[in-house]
Amino acid sequence: MSIQQYQSDESTDRPSLDRAAYARYDHWGDSDEDEPECTGHDTDKRPALEQKIKSAAHKFQKATSTDGMIDPIALSEEPENGLHDYKGQVIGLSAPEHVIPKRYEGQFGSFDYSAHSHRWRESEVGHLTFGGTIPDREKERLLADLELFIELASVRIPPSTKETILERARQMKEADYHDDRIFEMVSRCLFDPNEIEDN
């Protein structure tokens, strides 16, 4: 029994399997010659890294905050309906305890059903909010919390790098950056080694 090699016959009218408009690998007939190979995975892992950086910074900042949450509506919006006095007013929020039902507005009226999956917070003036703003800390307390954050991180860094990160955080605090930006910068330096070299 001899082994035969099959080659496409250019002389016939029938296109080979490689050039067929509706080949097995392309049964919809789409032309994907110009499209890059898409595997469904993020090859450079940037979105996953960004999520890890922001999530770690926010969770630690929220867990170590002792001042409670601030009403984001009173902090960043103009007053309406007399609920708060001025934009930038610092008003505390309750613990997440209010269950708000979902409402359906239909042709024959509205009705409540189920409930939102998260509990809502209420401010002292009556705003209902899903989350809140974490207040900024004093400089000394912030730096102590950042040292703890660096120690608890799953990444080990040399002491010189730690000092570089803390010095950058000190400079940002003196330049009146909010704590969430500073925590995010420290988290970025810990989880993305290129960040320290770039700045």
CA 54 vs CA 66, 79, 184, 190: distances in Å? 20, 30, 6, 12
- 197, two tokens: 């070299």
DSSP per-residue codes, 81-97: TTSSSSTT---BB--S-
Structure confidence at residue 50 (pLDDT):
82
118: nearest Cα among 101, 104, 103? 101
The answer to whether 166 and 143 have CB atoms below 8 angstroms apart is yes
Residue 185 has pLDDT above 80, yes or no: yes
Confidence of residue 197 (pLDDT cuts 50, 70, 90): low
pLDDT tens, position by position, 74-128: 777 787 777 777 777 777 777 777 777 777 677 777 766 666 667 777 777 777 7
pLDDT tens, position by position, 28-58: 555 555 555 555 555 555 677 788 888 888 8
Q: With 0-12 CB in 10 A as exposed, 13-18 as middle and 19+ as buried, what is 92?
A: middle
Is the model's pTM score more than 0.75? Answer: no
Better-predicted residue by pLDDT, 22 or 195: 195
- 155, two tokens: 């990444």
Structure confidence at residue 168 (pLDDT):
93
pLDDT tens, position by position, 113-154: 666 667 777 777 777 777 778 888 899 999 999 999 998 887
Report d(CA 199, CA 197) in Å as an integer: 6
The answer to whether 91 and 70 have CB atoms below 8 angstroms apart is yes
